[in-house]
Amino acid sequence: MDDASITELFRRRDERAIAELKQKYDKLCFYIAGNILSSPEDIEECVNSAYYEAWNNIPPDAPEDLKGYICHTVKNKALDRYKYNSAEKRSSNFSVSLDELAECIPDYREDSGGEKALAEAVSRFLRMQDELHRKVFVRRYWYGDSLARIAGYYGMNEKTVATYLFRTRKKLKEFLKKEGYDNG
């Protein structure tokens, strides 16, 4: 079933919407949550919470990109669980990747309008990058993949991946500064 049909099921409050969403995106949702969390129970809880949130929010939300919508929701649920689980400890790969991004992206969580504009600016920036740099960046900061895993995907060594990421973050920081975002 295509995304528009699934979204229409949500709009009609048809319970098949969750089953169809799950059938189409379950593996991807578990993959995203699994790259952030280690506990299978936490992963499953985050994915199920994301489906529940989609049920409660569509409508009034009307996502044009259902895949992006559910992936974003799962990622946020997993990050919330990760923060809760690691309130006193900081040592995972995902924590490292978030720290890397914090150098160039300002924190706009309190202002949803600012967050959306910032997300659009980052998307514009990524569309301007060559395909490999963009894919490496997205694998690291969206999917939470390790340097080793990214290197394996693209037949590179880890140092090259780290260099790509460093240079892309530096360009992103410069781009955001020109766009009026200042990270202090």
pLDDT tens per residue, range 22-61:
999 999 999 999 988 988 999 999 999 999 999 999 988 8
The count of C-alpha atoms lying within 13 angstroms of the C-alpha of 116, restricted to the half-sphere facing its C-beta, is: 2
Domain 3-85 has CATH 1.10.1740.10: yes
CB contact at 8 A, 183 and 106: yes
73: exposed, middle or buried (C-beta count within 10 Å: 0-12, 13-18, 19+)?
buried
CATH dotted code for 93-178: 1.10.10
Instruction: Render pLDDT for 54-79 as a digit per residue (tens, 0 to 9).
Output: 999 998 888 989 999 999 999 999 98
Domain boundaries, the chain: 3-85, 93-178
Supply 148's token pair: 């080793």
Distance CA 131, CA 78 (A): 27
pTM over 0.75: no
- How confident is the model at residue 116, as a pLDDT? 75
